[in-house]
Chain A
Amino acid sequence: MLNYKINSDEIDKIGNFTEEERNFRLKNLDYFNDIGFPNKKNEDWKFSDLKAIVSKNFSKLDIQLSKSKKQKVDFIKDFEHNYIVVVNGELTISDFKYEEKSNITLKSFTNNNYSNKKEKNPLINLNHALSNKGFFLEIKENYRFKKILVIYYLFTKDLDENILNSKNRIKIGKNSELHLLDYFVNDSKKNFFNNVHEDIILENSAILKNIYLQNSKSSGYFHKYSKNKLLTGSHYTSFIFPAGLKFNKLDLEFNLEGERSECNLQSASFLDGIDHQEIKTRINHLSPNCKSHQKVKNVLNAQSKGVYQGKIFVKDVAQKTDAYQLSKAILLSENSEFDSKPELEIYADDVKCSHGSTSGNLDKDSIYYLMTRGLNQLESKQLLINAFLNEIADTIKSNSIRNFIKTKMETQLLNGYKKH
């Protein structure tokens, strides 16, 4: 059993830091070491006992120090795109061939915020202490990307019981627009832990459309904390299509700080084997006339586990808030589990907030109907599962991107779902 505490010597191995940064890292390390990986006694982790999961699956967790070598990339050919390649969390190459480069800044991440506090989520402290990679992307004002930007997140074969900590920040200037595909390709067959801290800022009237997609199922253990700041009139749409990891927790916080800002979060997952996935959201409505919309769909096979914890917070000044949250799950196996915890905390009196959560089995009458038309049982079930999940991808406007995603998802489904 791994008792994961990090010696302060490790920080000096990561790099030579200023006194201020070193102290910041040491302090955060203390915070983390006090608690370690969170267990189910922590309310936010009650469905995902990370301490138990890490202890069971890791005998050690080495900080990954070696500088990532250039990696061969299997570029997507289905649609034209700009790209950034991130290897084991580290920014390597990029190409903005369809854009006016003067409007774009991309560089390796350097932290300059050393205000530290004990975070509710100890993995944030862990990231602050150990983070040594990542990127900073900034789009200037009044610039709309002509083509989508694909960020290839590659994980190399040599990863084995390593921990990666990275920080990424994306800032989109006033009236600018970016479409982004976070595309994960994992070559490692071994266990490793990827701990990401993401910071996204949408200035006034900025638009971000983001798609999260895994190339295939993988044996990684992923945690991402994402903090998103939306200023006046900005729009953030996020599509999340995780294919299933051994462990995956997305802890997403959206702060609707400016009036008329909107966030739209949609997710579709097919979980199989012993996949464990949690999507935790916190939407903070902090200004009037903001909208948030969340739809999370899960299909769970074998012994997989899915969790959705969705919280909507409405501040007293945030009148005319329109907040919606829906979770739907289909359980294909008696051994699969889905936990859902919707939460509303509302201090304004003129708001529209609703939430719903359903979970159940595939509809028997639908299977029967399809079988009377010549499809066998497996085909009928696959068709129904695809139909259930495709509802999310179907709302993506670009044909080539939508088809690319649907094909990926359907392939994953066909590969994974043979037992029923």
Chain B
Amino acid sequence: MLEIKNLKASINNKDILKGFNLKILPGEVHAIMGPNGSGKSTLANILSGKEGYTISGDLKYQGSRLDEIPIDERAQKGIFLAFQYPTEIPGVNTSNFLRTSLNKVRKAQGKKELDALSFLKIVKEKSNELGMDEKMLSRQLNVGFSGGEKKKNEILQMKILDPNLIILDETDSGLDIDALKIVAEGVNSSRNSKKSFLVITHYQRLLNFIKPDFVHVLSDGRIIKSGTKDLAIELEKTGYKGIN
């Protein structure tokens, strides 16, 4: 699904990732943990195609060079980033946006575009699963949404777009325990043998609900330790300083 070899990335002449390696197979869930400033969000940004980084190394998604694929085409090819801070976009109706987005992805994948009615059926079903108030769909995109509503809206988009590689960037931040459970359940119910997840988080807490196959510790732009979910539990006890 995703193979990263010796990825180096810098922004404004500051080195962030300094030789990052990772391989994710279909169906696997990988967690990346690490302290502030270790390069977690940079990794998410580079995978989704955000501009402004100077990068080198090998990045392969389903066998193609990822760095050569424009941002929108990455989405169309099944890469999805759930943002840490979803952008508020005044004047854009949430439901219309979701439909535009879904139809862009469907069209690129050679599927039929959905009319308003069939779309509405899907979006209602998925938003109910996430315990979202339907009124949210008629509001402006992320504008005035609470932290929890924003994150749920990200997971809703994930469920609607049905991507292959899902990157969750600190999806747990700003969530209370109930919202966290709902969001985690949203992710867990999407897991299957074809989808891969990259879960980026500070805390082990989220990993109690989304059980990863592998846990990696990112520090100063490199993975310094990899293991199973027990590594996350160990980290919680010792802190990042205890790992070396």
Contact = CB atoms under 8 A, between A and B. Distances in A.
A372 interface: yes
Given A368-B87, A369-B83, 8 more contacts: A370-B89, A372-B74, A373-B101, A374-B72, A375-B104, A383-B97, A388-B90, A391-B91
Interface in B71-107: 71-72, 74-76, 80-81, 83, 86-87, 89-92, 97, 100-101, 104-105
Interface string A374-392: 1111011001101110110
B7 to A, nearest CB: 19
A375 B141 CA distance: 15
Interface size range of chain B in the complex: 20 to 34
Nearest to B167: A372
A376 B72 contact: yes
Contact of B91 (A373, A374, A377, A388): A388
B88 to A, nearest CB: 8
Contact of A386 (B49, B72, B80, B91): B91
Contacts of B5: none
B161 A387 contact: no
B157 interface: yes
Contacts of B97: 370, 373, 383
A372 B48 contact: yes
Interface of B: 48-51, 70-72, 74-76, 80-81, 83, 86-87, 89-92, 97, 100-101, 104-105, 108, 157, 161
Nearest to B102: A374
Contacts of A376: 70, 72
A335 interface: no
9 contacts: A365-B87, A370-B97, A371-B72, A372-B71, A374-B72, A374-B161, A377-B72, A383-B100, A387-B91
B92 A374 contact: no
B50 A368 contact: yes
A371 B75 contact: yes
Nearest to A389: B91
A366 B89 contact: yes
A378 to B, nearest CB: 10
- The 4 A-B residue pairs with the shortest CB-CB distance, nearest first, are A387-B91, A374-B104, A374-B75, A373-B101
Nearest to B85: A365
A335 B199 CA distance: 44
Interface of A is mostly: helix
B86 A373 contact: no
A369 B90 contact: no
Interface string A338-379: 000000000000000000000000010110111111111101
Contact of B75 (A373, A377, A383): A373
Contacts of A373: 75, 97, 101, 104, 157, 161
Nearest to B142: A369
B178 to A, nearest CB: 26
Interface string A392-404: 0010000000000
A98 B35 CA distance: 71
Contacts of B49: 371-372
B108 A374 contact: yes
A363 B157 CA distance: 21
B89 A387 contact: yes
